[in-house]
Amino acid sequence: MSQDELAADLRADLTSDQRSADMQLSIDPGFVNYRLIQTIIGANAMRPIDRAIAELPAQPEHMQNLRIIHIYKEALLVFCDKLGVLTLGELLAKGSGRLFCSTQELLPATDVYDAERAVSVISTPGVENLTVELHYSTANIKSDTTRTELAQGGLMAIVAQLHSFRDGKLIFYPLLMGAPWLSAKTDPSPVSDPEWESFGFYEHFVEDIAEFSKVRNVDAPADFTIMKQVTEAAFKQCLGEILGDMVRKDWGGETSDHFTSHIHLGGGRTTAAFLLKGPGNKFVPMGLNHLGKNNDQIYRLAQEPAELLVVQHCHEILPPVRATLRAFTVQPGSPRRYCLIDGRDSLRLLMAYDKLDRALELSKE
């Protein structure tokens, strides 16, 4: 299932409050390199791991091994969170870093069944003249499910260390790989069977933001071409007025077009950073070519200390943009939230708050 299909299901199946629920995103560990994890986290961090393993109750060997895998997984994710380990997208855009922790799209790697070492190529749309690969021993694959997922390709949550860079190829050695795993922090869970939402959770929609909730009273328009007449500056001014924010002028060093602490999700106040894209010279769907070399505009957006990252465009937003924004934002162990507001939802927002005429007038100035 594509991420666009996952988003559609998430929007249809869960309420705004459920999508805003405080959940835990982890990794279902199907690949573990114990040696490399021990090397990376160091002796001090190994002490609580050793204590946790020593305290395990007597149980069958396969259950003991499974518990040990999860102890290592939890320790590694805490390590990544404390050190502020980047996502792969951030690492590539920054051009430096030795570790990444993120959820990435892998291409099929059929050699995981019969080779001692395998290679998985990471899909990096929008990144030019660079190939990113994972090189690993198949002996460290601990789950038949993970082996199948690696063979078939698809979304995989990964913690990996840079090994080398040569001939336009970045080679990483994974410490941990597995499917993203969503779970509740409370009992009962605000989301029934949360594991089924693991691949799409943390995306929000315009109606989830309390300050934009009036859009529920406006149906999605079949024709949104009037957004061709609304400039980016005009939309930004109207956005600020809806939120009750002061709007600053754009400048070359900005990391976002608008930052606010005046929004609420699920009844709680949070911060949001917006990347806004008007029609400019062309009224066309947003692709990765709209976001700078190596997606540097999303990278700059991700540098904002905001819990919600929002990309808005006057037209449709294409699937690679959704996938890229999610890869920058939804980090196992320390996820943030993201939202895409396309031309239809942008028009709904202006109409819901009686700002369409205002936006059109501002656009003429």
Q: What is the mean pLDDT of each run of 10 residues along the chain (365 residues)?
A: 85 94 96 97 94 94 95 96 94 92 96 96 89 97 96 96 94 97 94 92 97 96 96 96 89 83 94 94 90 83 95 96 93 96 98 98 93
The beta strands (E) that lie in 15-79 are given as 23-32
User: How high is the pLDDT of residue 253?
Assistant: 65
Interatomic CA distance for residues 349 and 242, integer angstroms? 9
137 and 233 in a common domain: no
Q: Is 240 strand, coil or helix?
A: helix
171 and 51 in a common domain: yes
233 and 100 in a common domain: no
Please report the sign of the dihedral spanned by the C-alpha atoms of residue 171, residue 177, residue 178, residue 179: negative
145 and 33 in a common domain: yes
Residue 176 lies in a domain: yes
Q: Which of these three, 184, 208, 229, is where a domain ends?
A: 184
54 Cβ contact list (under 8 Å, min separation 6): none
CATH number at residue 60: 2.40.50
Q: Which of these three, 145, 162, 184, is where a domain ends?
A: 184
Across the strands, what pairs with 265?
A: 209, 268
223 and 347 in a common domain: yes
161 Cβ contact list (under 8 Å, min separation 6): 36, 40, 98, 99, 172, 173, 174, 175
What total of structural domains would you count in the chain? 2
Q: What is the pLDDT of residues 67-91, one digit of tens each?
A: 999 999 999 999 999 999 999 999 9
153 and 78 in a common domain: yes
User: How high is the pLDDT of residue 322?
Assistant: 94
Residue 9 lies in a domain: no
302 and 205 in a common domain: yes
Main-chain dihedrals φ then ψ at residue 84, nearest 5 degrees: 65, 40
Interatomic CA distance for residues 345 and 301, integer angstroms? 21
CATH number at residue 224: 3.40.1350
Q: Which of these three, 162, 184, 206, is where a domain ends?
A: 184
Pairing of strands 203-204, 337-341: parallel
Residue 7 lies in a domain: no
Residue 263 lies in a domain: yes
134 and 251 in a common domain: no
178 and 209 in a common domain: no
68 and 50 in a common domain: yes
Residue 141 lies in a domain: yes
Structural domain harbouring 318: 194-364
DSSP letter at 174? E
